Chains A and B, each alone.
Chain A
Amino acid sequence: MVRRLIDACPLLAIALPGAILGLGTAVLMLGAVGGSPPWWRVDPVNMSEAAALRDRATVVRMMAEGQDPYERHEIRADLVFNNRVELTAIEAGIATRRSEIVDVILFSARTPPDGMAWARLKCLAELEGDEDVTEVLDRYRPESAPAPVCDDVKRPWQ
């Protein structure tokens, strides 16, 4: 009995973690055969949520499928901000200070923002105080854009 214990103990110690890893991986891979992603599942997101979560590729894909980047969508509470909020994808990029998101949306948009919309975005970027985002917005400034007057502009996110 003791001899068997002496033989089995160290063997189990080195093989058990690997065996658990192997079994767990096998179960997850079997799930993948059934169409379930093996490592982790994430909730589907709308374009504004994708932008807030720094998912440039999903934003661009949605735009290519015809979705409007200037349309507001709900961003669920606790996904990025504490409270639920309705933002466009560009606003979400400004709110999370992701200049590359703002850049790729404005570059890929079929129509540029009109002058008033651009001025409002510029105000939001200045309120947020991110120089990179401000610089990107300047690059896409439409000719019709008025000088931004930001007194009445408030950030819709907290």
Chain B
Amino acid sequence: MMSGTAELTRPRSSLSAPRAAVWAFAAVLTIALAYDMWRMPVQVFDSLQEILDAQASPSVAQSFVNAAGGGAYLRPLRIAQIKAVFDLSQGNYRAGYRGLHVVLIVALMWLFTRALPIETGLDAAAAIFALTVLTGMHTFLGFLREAFPINHFLEMAVFTLVALNLSLSRGGWWADALAALTFIAAALTLESGVLVWVVVAGAWLCGLRGVSTRGVLVLTALLVGYFAVRFWFLETGLPTLTERASGFLLERLEPDELQRRFGDSPRLFYAYNVVVAVLSVLFAEPRDGLFVATRAWMDGDVRPHTYLAVGASLAMTLLILVAAIAMWRRRRQLERPDRLVIVAAIVVMANAVLAFSYAKDDIVTIAGVFYAIAAYTAIRRAVVYARSGGLVRAVVVSAALLPLAAAWAVRSSGVHHVVNEHAFRTRNDWASLPVEWHREGRWPSDPRQLRLIETLRNDALQSPMPNPNQLPEWRSRWYGD
């Protein structure tokens, strides 16, 4: 166990020039992302039915109670939130759901930046780099592309960053209380919510004790209570192999095939999912359990964005590894950035374990956020190393770091292209909705439901959306889709 010291917590200081520069950079990225989120229509798939259910529910409390029992999941607050936003939006559904998405993106960027120690120009440069890693990670797209109709993975990331910031704070009873409330809200929204406990406990072990020992004990008791309620009181099970398709090596397996191959011994499949979840975060390959870059390479059709993603992630992970080894060999008192790397490693592993039941990049979005925190420390260490030798070392290391930073900046700039692609598809989904639902016999006859669908559909159709098919091909070649 590492000892906690006062200097590990956030100092109370004014807005220095380096910090102001980082906040300005973060603000620009955030505004651009918020703009993307605001103009994206509410999603049809996995979303419209949830909104229709919210409309049918008499109250938020009833939604919570109905969702609290049975099935393979315990996510009552997820359903209650959808209902709450529905009621609060007063008919402006897009403003409600897209507005919440914007708020969550702002919160994520703010909490991420706030968690980074920024005192000097070196810290600021490393933080700017870390922000491009955060927004350039393929897992970050999971925060933007989809919402059901709330992006709960994004919510979980915000909750874990709240927990990290509390651990980095000077602490007090309020930090303990907030940590407990954060855990309760997160765990009742999505299974990934238990990562709030992982962050707080991991940070405490690393000596980041803004949440006190008492606070960690309370959170641990809540975690035990969560498992007891879930598996003993409510007898909520775990997802089975038949619930959804999943990637496996080079192919996508449908539930029947998953059951046929792994029904007798699912442990192999679960182990595969955990391993590929880690690999996906560290190397941008595989994606959703599928070795897509490998398959593209075998087909002789590797696109530039694949080289960019895998190359940038591979180099970054190697740099983090080298920084971690150097940190280990130094054997000095760990500084706050070093401790953040350890917390990040714990969260990446824990998040991967939670992805055992099926492979999906969305599940490891939180790991992606903490990977970017580790990138902050690693790049900072690399600069310290470059500065500690002669001119030749500085030039050689700089020449190696520049393409890495450029690759992450390009990946980050591609986010807007991918989001626009998705928004375009979503808008088209709304156009075809009546055709498909009539054909499937799902088109409602209730006038209230029809009015709701009409409102959302008109809103989507009236949204101006650049057609990706009118854009130069280099965009999809370099940014993907």
Contacts and interface: CB of A to CB of B under 8 A. Distances in A.
Given A9-B386, A41-B466, A14 B379 contact: yes
Contact of B35 (A19, A32, A40): A32
Contacts of B298: none
A24 B424 CA distance: 24
B467 A53 contact: yes
Interface in B2-34: 24-25, 28-29, 31-32
A17 B408 contact: yes
Interface string B394-421: 1101110110111011101100110010
B409 A13 contact: no
Interface in A23-67: 24-26, 28-29, 32, 37-43, 45, 50, 53-61, 64
A43 B379 CA distance: 42
B405 A11 contact: no
B118 to A, nearest CB: 12
B382 A55 contact: no
Nearest to A107: B435
A42 to B, nearest CB: 4
B432 A14 contact: no
A61 B29 CA distance: 32
Contacts of A32: 35
Contacts of B325: none
Given A10-B386, A22-B29, A32-B35, A60 B431 contact: yes
A60 B461 contact: yes
Contacts of B431: 56-57, 59-61, 104
Contacts of A77: none
A12 interface: yes
Contacts of B387: 6-7, 10
A13 B430 CA distance: 45
Interface in B350-391: 379, 382-383, 386-387, 389-391
Given A9-B395, A13-B399, A41-B466, A104 B409 contact: no
A49 to B, nearest CB: 9
A55 B413 contact: no
A17 B409 contact: yes
A: contact size bracket = 35 or more
Interface residues of B, number: 62
A11 B383 contact: yes
Contact of A6 (B131, B379, B391): B391
Given A9-B398, A25-B32, A56-B428, A14 B466 contact: no
A130 B138 CA distance: 36
Contacts of A25: 28-29, 32, 413
Interface string A99-110: 010011001100
B394 A55 contact: no
A34 to B, nearest CB: 13
B25 A57 contact: no
B409 A42 contact: no
B128 interface: yes
B434 interface: yes
Contacts of A43: 470
B189 interface: no
Query: For A43, A45, A57, which residue has the most chain B Cβ atoms within 10 angstroms?
Result: A57
B406 A17 contact: yes
Contacts of A146: none
A42 B132 contact: no
Given A17-B408, A54-B428, A79-B470, 18 more contacts: A10-B398, A11-B383, A13-B405, A14-B129, A17-B402, A17-B409, A19-B128, A20-B409, A21-B412, A32-B35, A39-B416, A40-B475, A43-B470, A55-B428, A61-B431, A103-B432, A103-B435, A108-B434
13 contacts: A11-B121, A13-B397, A13-B401, A14-B126, A14-B402, A18-B132, A37-B466, A40-B420, A54-B467, A54-B469, A55-B428, A61-B461, A64-B461
- Enumerate the 6 nearest inter-chain pairs by beta-carbon distance, A residue then B residue, closest first: A17-B409, A15-B125, A10-B386, A13-B398, A56-B431, A18-B128
Interface of A: 2, 5-7, 9-22, 24-26, 28-29, 32, 37-43, 45, 50, 53-61, 64, 79, 100, 103-104, 107-108
